[in-house]
Amino acid sequence: MPAKPAHTTIARQWEILKLLPPRSPGKTARQLAEMLAADGFEVSKRTVERDLNELSGIFPIVCNDK
């Protein structure tokens, strides 16, 4: 599947929200990046971390730092 355009931040963040499980165990940023890549989004683990940080200001996302 071809990569999606760079202006799809909202679409990518929406996809991240859909990929997050409702309860433990969660997903790592690396796992989410791999799942997004399989869905056509070319992102790094760091981009996913930034997206999660931004989304946690709006949605009740809990980070497990272990």
pLDDT in tens, 9-54: 999 999 999 999 988 889 999 999 999 999 999 999 999 999 999 9
Whole-model pTM over 0.85: no
H-run or E-run covering 12: helix 9-19
Place 56 in a pLDDT band, splitting at 50, 70 and 90: very high
**Residue 22: what pLDDT?**
87
Res. 6: pLDDT tops 60:
no
Cα-based torsion angle of the residue sequence 23, 19, 14, 59 in order, rounded to the nearest 10 degrees: 10
Which residue did the predictor score with more confidence, 66 or 40?
Answer: 40
Q: Are 7 and 17 in contact (CB under 8 A)?
A: no
